[in-house]
């Protein structure tokens, strides 16, 4: 199970990512869209097995999480375990925002996985959690057809779909 503090993307970018999810599905490649029907395209700022939405809300009270950020989605990557993602170009503004969020989470006692902490985090938009090995190259080629994208963050929330949690911030 995974819970995450997610940044949600503008309508046009969300539509493009969902279209990519459907294109992959049509080729027999599972996407995040089919993993849980409630998934929406996002960038995760923090993740853990469990995250208390009330603790996150309290820790970030008064802080405009993600509001006003514009990001470039410019490349494709993969993590060990057949995870395919669209890469977000790192900017000082994005890193400073991420750092500020984590300072508040830490002060509020919210525990997250180390690889989401400042200095280790890889900003990305997950496309699939389980691309079959023989399908990875075709999946990457399909993703490249949708790039580049310019996205504006329009909201944030804590999501834990396994436990039916979707708490807007």
b (16+ CB within 10 A) / e for 75-109: ebebeeebbbbbbbeeeeebeebbeebbebbeeee
Give me 98's structure tokens.
């991420």
DSSP one-letter string for 17-78: HHHHHHHHHHTT---HHHH-TT---EEEEEEES---HHHHHHHTTT--TTTT-EEEEEEEEE
pLDDT confidence band for 2 (50 / 70 / 90): confident
At 1 the pLDDT is 56
Q: What percentage of the chain exceeds 70 in pLDDT?
A: 98
Please write the tens of the pLDDT for every residue from 30-85.
998 886 667 899 999 999 999 999 999 999 999 999 988 999 999 999 999 999 99
Tell whether the model's pLDDT for residue 142 goes beyond 90: yes
Between CA 165 and CA 122 the distance in angstroms is: 24
CA distance 32 to 5: 16
The pLDDT tens digits for 7-29 are 999 999 999 999 999 999 999 99
| Residue at token pair 């514009």 | 70
Percent of the chain whose predicted confidence (pLDDT) is above 90: 87
pLDDT band at 112 (very low <50, low <70, confident <90, very high): very high
CA 35 to each of CA 29, 65, 133, 162: distance values in angstroms, whole numbers, following the listed order: 11, 26, 18, 11
Predicted pLDDT of residue 85 = 98
Q: What structural domains and CATH numbers belong to the chain?
A: 3-168 (3.90.1140.10)
């Amino acid at each position: 199970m995974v819970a995450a503090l997610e940044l949600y993307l503008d309508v046009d970018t969300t539509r493009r990512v969902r279209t990519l999810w459907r294109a992959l599905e049509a080729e027999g490649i599972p996407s995040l869209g089919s993993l849980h029907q409630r998934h929406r395209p996002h960038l995760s700022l923090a993740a853990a097995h469990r995250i208390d939405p009330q603790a996150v809300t309290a820790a970030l009270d008064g802080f405009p999480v993600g509001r006003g950020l514009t990001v470039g989605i410019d490349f494709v990557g993969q993590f060990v375990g057949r995870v395919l993602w669209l890469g977000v170009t790192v900017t000082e503004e994005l890193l400073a925002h991420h750092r500020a969020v984590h300072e508040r989470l830490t002060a509020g006692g919210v525990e997250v996985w180390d690889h989401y902490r400042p200095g280790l985090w890889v900003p990305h938009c997950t496309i699939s959690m389980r691309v079959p090995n023989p399908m990875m190259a075709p999946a990457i080629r399909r993703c490249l057809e949708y790039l580049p994208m310019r996205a504006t963050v329009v909201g944030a929330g804590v999501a834990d779909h396994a436990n039916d949690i979707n708490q807007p911030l």
